[in-house]
Structure 1
Amino acid sequence: MAVEQTGSSTSAFVSSLIFNLVIFAIFVGIFILLRNKCLNVYRPRTDNRLLPDHLKAPPLAPSAFGWFTDLLTRPKSFVLQQVGVDGYFFLRYLLLWAYVGFFGGLILWPILFAVNASGGGNKTGFDIISYSNNTHKWRVFANLFCSWAFFAFVVYVIYTELVYYTGFRHNMQCTPFYSSLPSSKVLLIDNVDQGLLFEDSLRRLFPAASRIAITRDTTEARETWEKRGKLTGKLEGAFTKVLSKCIKTRSKLEKKAEKGSDVEFPTPVNSIESYIPEKKLPTYKYKPIIGKSKKVFNEGLDELDEFNRKLDTEQGKIKESSDSLAKVGSVFLEFPSHLELQRAYQAVNKSDNFKKSRRFQSFMPEDVIWKNVGIGYVARKSKRAGAKAFLTLMIIYWAIPVAVVGCISNINNLTNMVPFLRFINNMPSVLMGIITGILPSVLLAILMSLVPPIIRYWGKQGGCMTLQHLDLWTQQWFYAFQVIQVFLVTTCTSAASSSVTKIISQPSMAMTLLSQNLPPASNFYISYMLLQGLSISSGMLAQVVGLILSFVLGRILDKTPRQKWNRQVNLSPPSWGTLYGSFGLFTVIMLCYSIIAPIIIAFTCIAFMLIYTAMMYSLVYVSGHTTDNRGRNYPLALFEVFVGVYLAEIVLIILFVMQKNWACVVLEAVWLALTVVAHLYFRRIFEPVLDTVPIGAIEGMYPCKDLGREQVFQEGQRYFVKESDSSKKSTSSDSYVGTKSDSKSGPGHAPGAGHEDAELDFKKMQLEDRDYSGMATNFEEYVSSGYKDGMRYVIQRFLHPKRYVNYSNYRPLMPQFWSLPLSSSLAATPRYQPPEITDDKAPVLWVARDQLGLSEELKVVCSEHGVSCSDADAVYDEKAKVQVTDDSYPPGYESTIMY
């Protein structure tokens, strides 16, 4: 039976390899063939009208493969500018674990391949070099010591990357550009005690705040605003359908007339009712089946006008006096500078006044999930508990279909237990390889693709306050899904199904049989890596989804000018939480099988590199980047790697127990305990400084010794004591010492126009009397410790990461435009209020212009009902289909800050 199982794994690998290589070749061929033809699919970022010039992607070499070296040899500053901070760190994550796998292979393969291949287990295929082929009890000490070396290396890599990210984020947020962003000056606090929800009370606590906004319950206005938005879409769809039908009717009559038929043309030619009787004009309803139907041209326009008037009235009441609306416990505090924002942010969790509160920063108004801001503490807690309960149950019950997939990977071993499946044994080996190798991987990928939208939905229902918060929620839950379902459930079911018949016949041998069949279960993940590395990466390059949306679904679904404009102009941003959750699983698989089936490291590294290349192209030339998480998903993903290390060590302990090698059990258990200690230590030293920026960094002297942890703690402890003293003197934010927005320039402040080198301002900066022990105190010393290239520098930085976290070492990576502040007009534009308050412009319906003059009549009809309508920048073609003109914009379009 062991030989059968191994043979099946070999045929599965061969079938998966051939199948995925064919798919890879097809997709790459499609990419090469269409890359220079379908620019709206393969290079939309090169000339997208919404992107500022510095974010438009430059052209690549037009040759078939010249783009590859052209793209991968671009400097890091180019990559960071084009893909953003989040994209940069995601690409770094992929490349990092490819490198870790490569060096891990150099360490592990010479030893473990030799030990396992000579283990006397009579295995074949890849199982020869796996742990299952080693029958010598004491030879597993080689696995033990290799695990120590490799996992220690992995933990140290996590440490160095946490240092790198923390230093990068601190220095990035202190650049003139980032420190001048509105998102770097606004603090959101939720669950504030009702006794503090008064401007005077908050002003005493935060006297530096330039604006204080206490959120109110605007549910009534929000419902009106949301209904108005839905109705606007319904009306535009109905009008487009009506005009298209009229034009097609006229076209058919003209064709008949051309053929000599006696045709009576409707009159007047520019009247909709000439072509469509009133009783056949479209209707709409808010609820399917049970909803009441309403006529578009009368009731629909009247209702839209009513919504406009009602919303204007509600907005007017809110702006005049919001006292009639209930306070919901959330507060927005706007500060004149990034420095004051950081001081307040670091103090919130140190105050007894905000024990139940959470704090949020680094978000724009469009990133706020306003529906969740406007709910109270009790409702938010209950909704969050409900969301977590649902997702937990979902993880449990999702195991059923995933277990079936795991069984399929070893289905030939189940035929002895399930008689009606015995016909499978008569299948050709190629077909068997497809069933056991390709089918499970594809089914598993489809199953897991359904999960992220559900997680995001329940994140919104559970009270996530910002899109950044929602993205981290998605990453955590999706990673849990991936590890539990794709790894644990699939591995266990695959291993159990391959030995179920022998376990039933020899129950006393269950532990031994499972230990022998657990390493060969890695064959499923070899096929999985082939699918991800070859088919998925090439599918990203070929933009299969983009092609389908552009040429198939887009033409079917996009009817109105606004829908076509959105498809043409808006770039789809990646979901970092989903991406990190998906590819974080690769790291878990590599770590868990690195000792017991080390060959999988090679396939994981190849998958990482191929996906890195495909993601690099996609992020630079295809994807949009709207929500700025400032790379915060990266340290979360690094901490999640500990899950893979824990599982790998626990699997080894279990295997040692099954062999009754108690010495190895104890030694590996000690190593597991040390890993836990390292994990807890990393959390203690890094979590306090991941979201905060030390005051020393803002003032130009970075605290390299502890990355600012002590400064953050001290600032939080003394803030409210110091501010209460200051508030006795003045409650004016302008008179508060150190909050002037025109303070000295440096990495933490925005220099004036013409500043090309922000580092020069370090010399001019007057620092307050603070303790800067452990930091560079001389400017020349600070700058001279800057960026150096070469292998020696890389090794030194790896061995001593904290020596290289000051600004001068990160500056070569940073885009040039970060050295200049955002213009004051743009920085003052955002209003941190819900859209039902800020959206004070009535919507303008957008229809396409036609040669018959029907759109002109439609504009008159809309005007009679108090509704605005425009037919600018959109026309009907000869096939009665809507086309938007070049450089078109929807009526009333307002641009947003893009950087």
Structure 2
Amino acid sequence: MSDSSTSSDSSVSQFLAALIPTAVIAAVFILLFIAIRKKQKRVYEPRSIIETVPKDLQTESTPTGLFSWAPHVLKKSESYLIQQAGIDGYFFIRFLLEFGLICILGCFITWPILFPVNATNSNGQKGFNAISYSNVNNKWRFLAHIFVSWIFFGSVLFLIYREIVYYTTFRHAVQTTPLYDSLLSSRTLLLTEIPESLYEEETLRSYFPPAKTIWYARDYKKLEKDVKERTKLAGKYEGAANKVIIKAVKMRNKAIKKKKPTPEPADEIDKYLKDGKKRPTHRLKFLIGKKVDTLNYGVERLGELNTSIKEQQENFKENKQVPSVFIEFPTQLDLQLAYQAVPFNKDLKGVRRFSGLAPSDIIWENLPLTKKSRWAKKVVANTVLTLMIIFWAIPVAVVGAISNINFLTDKVHFLRFIDNMPAKLMGIITGLLPVVALAILMSLVPPFIKKMGKVAGCITIQEVNGFCQAWFFAFQVVHSFLVVTVTSAAASSVTSIISKPGTALQLLSSNLPKASNFYLAFFCLQGLTIPSGLLLQIVPLILSQVFSRLASTPRAKWNVWYKIGSPDWSTTYPAYQLLAVIGLCYAIIAPLVLGFAGIAFLVIYLAYIYTLVYVLQPNPVDARGRNYPRGLLQLFVGLYLAEVCLTAMFVFGKNWVSVALEALTIPVTVAVHLYLKWKYLPLWETVPISAIRYAAGNKSLEYPMHDQGYKEIKTEGTNYWEGGNELGAYQDQDVTIQGGASERANESGPESKVAGSDESDKHSPFDKASELEGGKTAAVGQVVAVPGKGVSWLTKFFKPKSETFDIVRAKMPACYFNYIEYNDEFVKTAYADPSVTDEEPHIWIVKDNLGLSDIEMNRAIEGGVDVSNSNTEFNEKGSATYTGPPPSYEEALKV
């Protein structure tokens, strides 16, 4: 059998081996989803039934029809998606849609031209290889590939540009809404690696006179250690106390049912534990630590820790200062003026600045790091990850070789038994097995990268997520694409290369496109199993059944019902960025891949809309969609690989005219990449001052759409040190620049609250956006309603800046036009280290009719430990359950 014949058989069998089982699995998953969707609302519509979901995130129930949920979610407006999926979720959905459409557009660009060019007067390839680059035998025909690549790659560059323009406008628009303008995080500045001269508050205030509250970071190692021990011990004590009470009640019920003697006295716990011989114990250190009685030691040690921690918390200002400080400003405008000015002061050179950070976003243990120590830790972390990428190539290369293992049997004799395998089994081994193995290998990487991100000295969870997104994307590209592609192509050529070493480059050139057959199988797996798996939620479905039975304590049962998962964008984005990279790289070499990629993106898009609206809650770490432009810029890697790979293949074939023409695309792509980074990176963490004033009601100003604030930011930053930082410098403008939100926050009552939906920014020309039935967005106020009229979607697409600040801001959901008001007591300690404000643990045990919980509760309270059995009981089946929330339960406050 000839190589071409074998190749054709292999390509078709690989595809069918991946398509058939994955299609069957996907069909089963979707049918199960349809069948049980309404019966398992806790799994498939938790946000419509769980009371603790914030009101603005609660969703209505989906229609009852078998497939009616699909058009129902597809009809939702952008405003609805922004609110329900969160800004991060909205931009991820947009990422899937945009690249699904660009792949479909790529099919219209490439297929009519390249399929005929590849298939006619060719090398006689069969199967999928007949319409790929490898089937061309006339070098002048490659001119078609070059001109098509110019059009397609140019389209991708334009798409990235327009989406970055849109994101920039969106980011500025959302930051000027009353909700985000009034957030404490929007007016709090974090400076790290500050000089010792700024350790004095008076000196610091001379740089930033408008500053209100200042929180200096301090060394709390001893306090943090004690808090960590207390938290761990509290969980252990609560579990042990509940366990013995539940055991006692069940033992007594069982004895009564069988009419056997019951332990007496009924309110003495040791009588149910073999006179105390079976009391719960644990070791203070793993394996080698002293064994202690959990109940007695728990009360004693928790009491000691409560006293010690309280004393340390009261005297926290005695701890040593570290080079980091949080500064609260009266308004977002004051914050932005200061933030934009920091790089233009010679005394603050080298100081890192952050804004938009909630306290829960801070990695507190990394605040004490100096510039040198952070640099050293970053070098170590990056070195470790680089070495990991290199050595991880070994197992991944094995996976890639398996996809073409049938080509190795001629020279590797002990593998010849594979030739005797049935064709279907061979297809599974070479098609499905490598895909599954690769997915398992890559799932092990993200947790380690995140750990390295903290080791590298990242200050925030957002920074760790960005670190993870970048490195995991690198892992994906290197191992899920480059190593697999090269090893697959090399494996399919190894026999001929050994026979004729001089033809290695030509053989790799002709066989590299054949590696696309692996990615056809890959896209089948991604496009069928991922969306069906997302809809079925098989793991949460199983765990919900298992945990609901395994959960025995009131708190465990509360968590099973009321805790809803959130997406992790740092690991989700790279998986789909990889799909985009593969599509870009094979767009010209094997255009068929684009069709599979486009369908996969669009089907996954549908599944994610449903999942993000009805199943998952927005991630509590609000990055304002920052993963999206990061992902767009990282996709330049795909363009570089596509252009370099195509150029290299022309080099292998010694087609120098084609090399020269295709190489022109590389410097153009580099120039666009550098321009976008230079122009837009400074804009994503800042908000133009004119945009804040315009949104606050100053009609003499407008949003700087021409450059989106690039020049203005530099001007404002320079002016700040020439009198712009003086107190009262801006108080005569814009009726305190949305100060209504900030001032009311400081005059709020004893509890934090969100203003009612009827309250809008009285100083804003954008009165309010409202959500109407059917998912349409209406604007209450002429200024919001007018801008979108007369601007067609075609104009907005090809002229990104025609989608103005007004149009984008009109998309914002109604809840973004409410203010958040904070209690003064909350603000005083908002950015103190969590160990300083950590409350005594509230132990929650189940109430029984024997009095055991009351005895344990009173004993613990006497020892200085807060224990409660409120809102708990044993149900008719004798199981511990809850009747209300845990003690001291509070809804999370958006900061």
- State the TM bucket, normalised to the shorter chain: over 0.9
Change (3 A) 1:377 1:286: farther
1:518 matched to 2:518? The reply is: no
Partner residue, 2:569:
576
Shift of 1:748: 10
State the Cα deviation string for residues 428-467 of structure 1 (Å, max 9, x = none): 1111111111111111111111111111122122222222
| Post-superposition offset of 1:898 | 4.5
Q: Aligned to 2:200, which of 189, 198, 216?
A: 198
Residue 188 of structure 1: SS of its match in structure 2? strand
Q: Report the CA distance between 1:642 and its aligned residue.
A: 0.6
Gap runs ≥5 in structure 2: 695-701, 745-754, 768-780
Letter in 2 for 1:273: D
Q: 2: distance between equivalents of 1:879 and 1:385? A: 58
Any conservation in 2 of the 1:452–1:578 contact (CA below 8 Å)? Answer: yes
Match of 1:482 in 2: 476
The number of residue pairs the alignment matches comes to: 860
User: Which amino acid in structure 2 is aligned with residue 216 of structure 1?
Assistant: R
Equivalent runs, 1:664-679 vs 2, <5 Å: 664-679=658-673
Q: Deviations over 1:836-887 (max 9, x none)?
A: 1112x321211112233321222122123221211122333466543233xx
Structure 1, unpaired ranges of 5+? 258-262, 727-732, 765-779
The aligned amino acid for 1:498 is S
Matched, 1:893 2:895: no
After TM superposition, the structure 1 = structure 2 runs for residues 26-425 of structure 1, keeping only pairs within 5 Å, are 26-257=28-259, 263-276=260-273, 277-318=275-316, 322=317, 324-425=318-419
Displacement of 1:741 after TM fit?
10
Decide whether aligned partners of structure 1 residues 749 and 602 sit closer, same or farther in structure 2, where only a CA change above 3 A counts: farther
| Equivalent residue letter for 2:584 | L
**Conserved 8 A contact 2:306-2:864:** no
Output the amino acid matched with 2:675.
Y
Following the alignment from structure 1 to structure 2, what is the Cα–Cα distance between the partners of residues 80 and 423?
56
Tell me the amino acid that sits aligned with residue 214 of structure 1: Y
1:608 counterpart = 2:592: no
- The range that moved more, 410-419 or 559-568, is 559-568
Q: Over residues 137-191 of structure 1, what are the superposed CA-to-partner deviations in whole Å (9 max), with x where a residue is unaligned?
A: 1110111111101001100111100100000110110111110111111111111
Partners of 2:390 and 2:70 lie apart in 1 by 43
Contact 1:182-1:827 at 8 Å conserved across structures: no
CA 1:48–1:738: 2 relative to 1, 3 Å: farther
Deviation of 1:834 after TM superposition, in Å, equals 1.3
Greater Cα offset, 43-52 or 672-681: 43-52
Q: What secondary structure does 1:704 align onto? A: coil
- Within a 5 Å distance, the mapping from 1:588-599 to structure 2 comes to 588-599=581-592
CA distance in 2, matches of 1:397, 1:870: 53
Q: Which stretch has the larger CA shift, 98-107 or 466-475?
A: 466-475
The 3 A distance-change label for structure 1 pair 821 and 182 is same
Residues 1:813 and 2:811 are matched in the alignment: yes
> What CA distance in whole angstroms lies between the structure 2 residues aligned with 1:753 and 1:271?
52
Q: Give yes or no for contact 1:689–1:709 (8 Å, CA) kept in 2.
A: yes
Asked whether the equivalents of residues 192 and 325 of structure 2 are also in contact (C-alpha less than 8 Å), the reply is: yes
Question: Matched residues in 2 for 1:146 and 1:649: separation?
Answer: 12
SS in 2 for 1:867: coil
- Residues 251-284 of structure 1, C-alpha deviations (whole Å, 9 max, x = no match): 3322332xxxxx3321111221111132321112
Shift of residue 32 of structure 1? 0.9
C-alpha deviation, 1:379, in angstroms: 3.5
The residue type equivalent to 2:577 in the other structure is: G
The reply to whether residue 564 of structure 1 matches residue 576 of structure 2 is no
In structure 1, the partner of 2:752 is none
Counterpart of 2:324 in 1: which secondary structure? strand
Deviation at 1:783, TM superposition (A): 6.6
Corresponding position of 1:637: 631
- Post-superposition Cα deviations, 1:769-813, rounded to whole Å, max 9, x if no partner, equal xxxxxxxxxxx9987871137xx712211222123232x211332
CA offset at residue 286 of structure 1? 4.3
Evaluate the alpha carbon distance shift between residue 461 and residue 59 of structure 1 in structure 2; reply closer, same or farther with a 3 A threshold.
same
Q: Which residue of 2 aligns with 1:707?
A: 708
**What TM-score, normalized by structure 2, do the two folds share?**
0.92
Q: Distance in 2 between matches of 1:404 and 1:52?
A: 48
Amino acid at match of 2:589: I
Contact 1:699 1:746 in 2 (8 A): no
Contact 1:530 1:603 in 2 (8 A): yes
CA distance in 1, matches of 2:689, 2:151: 38
Distance 1:108 1:788, change over 3 A: farther
Displacement after TM superposition at 1:249 (Å): 2.3
Per-residue Cα deviation, 1:444-502 (whole angstroms, up to 9, x for no partner): 11111111111112212222222212211111111111111101111111111111111
How far residue 622 of structure 1 moved from its aligned partner, in angstroms, is 1.0
1:456-535 alignment, distance < 5 Å: 456-535=450-529
> CA 1:444–1:628 in 2, change beyond 3 Å: closer, same or farther?
same
* 8 Å CA contact 2:472, 2:571 repeated in 1: yes
Q: Distance in 1 between matches of 2:172 and 2:189?
A: 17
Aligned partners of 2:553 and 2:845 also within 8 Å: yes
- Partner Cα separation in structure 1 for residue 874 and residue 206 of structure 2: 61
Pairing 1:743-762 to 2, within 5 Å after superposition: 743=736, 745=738, 761-762=764-765
Structure 2 Cα separation of the partners of residues 187 and 741 of structure 1: 22
Q: Which residue of 2 aligns with 1:770?
A: none
| 3-state SS, counterpart of residue 284 of structure 1 | strand
Distance of 2:383 and 2:458 partners within structure 1: 15
The SS at the match of 1:278 is coil
Secondary structure of the equivalent of 2:792?
helix
Equivalent pair of 1:441/1:528 in contact (CA under 8 Å): yes
Deviates more, 1:697-706 or 1:448-457: 448-457
Amino acid at match of 1:203: R
Identify the residue that residue 771 of structure 1 maps to in structure 2: none
Q: CA 1:759 to 1:516, structure 2 compared with 1: closer, same or farther past 3 Å?
A: farther
Q: Cα RMSD between the aligned structures?
A: 2.4
Q: Name the CA distance, whole Å, in 1 between partners of 2:573 and 2:280.
A: 45
Cα pair 1:208 1:739 within 8 Å, conserved = no
Q: Name the CA distance, whole Å, in 1 between partners of 2:293 and 2:729.
A: 59
How far is the alpha carbon of 1:828 from its aligned partner? Answer: 5.9
Provide the C-alpha distance between the structure 2 equivalents of 1:141 and 1:601, rounded to a whole number of angstroms: 20
AA aligned to 2:262 is F
Q: Counterpart of 2:821? A: 823
- The CA deviation at 1:363 is 1.7
* TM value normalised by structure 1: 0.92
Deviations 1:41-83 (A, max 9, x none): 1111113222222210111111110111111111111111101
Amino acid of the residue matched to residue 714 of structure 2?
A: F
CA distance in 2, matches of 1:805, 1:750: 30
Question: Aligned partners of 1:781, 1:343: CA distance in 2, in Å?
Answer: 30
Residue 414 of structure 1 deviates from its aligned partner by 1.6
**Aligned mates of 1:826, 1:36 — CA distance in 2:** 45
Task: Tell me whether 874-883 or 684-693 shows the greater mean CA deviation.
Answer: 874-883
2:109, 2:152 within 8 Å by CA — same for their partners in 1? yes
Q: Per the alignment, do residues 795 and 614 of structure 1 end up closer, same or farther by CA in structure 2, a change over 3 Å counting?
A: same
What SS class does the counterpart of residue 509 from structure 1 fall into? Answer: helix
CA–CA distance in structure 2, aligned partners of residues 753 and 63 of structure 1: 35
Tell me whether 210-219 or 291-300 shows the greater mean CA deviation: 291-300
- 3-state SS of paired residue (2:13): helix
* Equivalent pair of 1:698/1:747 in contact (CA under 8 Å): no
Alpha carbons of structure 1 residues 100 and 749: separation in structure 2 relative to 1, 3 Å: farther
Check whether the contact 2:267–2:852 (CA below 8 A) recurs between aligned residues.
yes
Aligned to 2:803: 804
Bigger drift between 670-679 and 869-878 goes to 869-878
